[in-house]
Amino acid sequence: MPALLFVFFYKDVLKINDINGGFLLAIYFLSAAFSIPIWRRVMVLVGNKATWISSVVLSIVFFSLTVFLSGGDFYFFLIICIFTGIALGAELICPPSVLTDILSLNKGDLGLAGTYFGVWNLLIKCALALTAGIVLPSLFYLGYDPIFLTDSGEYALGFMYSIAPCIIKAISLIFIIKIIYKPI
């Protein structure tokens, strides 16, 4: 959801221009990229499962702060972009590592590994498409119009950008914990 609504959020809620919005997005992804070697070390120390869970918690904690932002909060949003980008670094490397561990425990047919990763990528793409198909019409229904911005529309955008993803991520975290710590 945040990826889909990022431009709307920085323009309509934070009142940030496109150059600074692009800068924030670059900082987010650079933070993710530069954090990956650090997360690799953490994975060696505490394991990929604990690292993944920690990164999701870090992401929820910092991203939930966006609900308090309003026009002109560029530097606060910059800090949030840095820390959620750092969390993204682990979220990029931990899930494939956990899946690889699960597949290696199931020694029956390792030839299916490619299929599992293919299905996983398909599900990610379906989730993105489903998000766009649900979130954008919902925002319109809740009164958000980027051309004629109202207080209720801005509130709806803030909720869909800030709160809803944190709720979904927290629910996902519960499932992640149940699935990855389930005996095989």
According to the model, what pLDDT value does residue 99 have? Answer: 85
How many CA atoms does the CB half-sphere of 123 hold within 13 Å? 6
Residue 139 is part of which domain span? 2-180
> Residue 45 above 90 pLDDT?
yes
pLDDT in tens, 147-177: 888 999 999 999 999 999 999 999 999 998 9
Nearest to 145 by CA among 133, 154, 134, 158: 154
- The total of structural domains in the chain comes to 1
What mean pLDDT value characterizes the chain? 91
State residue 25's pLDDT score.
96
As a whole number, mean pLDDT of residues 107-113 equals 66
**Is a pLDDT exceeding 90 seen at residue 118?**
no
**Which tokens belong to 104?**
């290696």
What confidence score (pLDDT) does residue 106 get? 67
- For the residues 4-26, what does the mean pLDDT come to? 94
**pLDDT interval class at 184 (50, 70, 90):** low
Which pLDDT score, from 0 to 100, does residue 1 have? 82
33 has pLDDT over 80 = yes
pTM: 0.89
Q: What would the pLDDT profile of 80-103 be if each residue is shown by its tens digit?
A: 999 999 999 999 999 989 888 877
Q: Which two tokens stand for residue 155?
A: 């509130």
Specify the pLDDT at position 107: 66
Proportion of the chain above pLDDT 70, given as a percent: 95
DSSP label of 107: T
Mean per-residue pLDDT for 49-61? 96
Q: Give the confidence band of 120 by pLDDT, cuts at 50, 70, 90.
A: confident
Using an 8 Å Cβ cutoff, are 131 and 4 in contact? Answer: yes
Residues 6 or more apart in contact with residue 99 via CB below 8 angstroms: 116, 117, 120
Percentage of residues of the chain with pLDDT beyond 90: 72
How many residues make up the chain in this entry?
184
The CATH number of the domain holding residue 112 is 1.20.1250.20
Quick check: 139 and 131 in contact, CB under 8 A? Answer: no
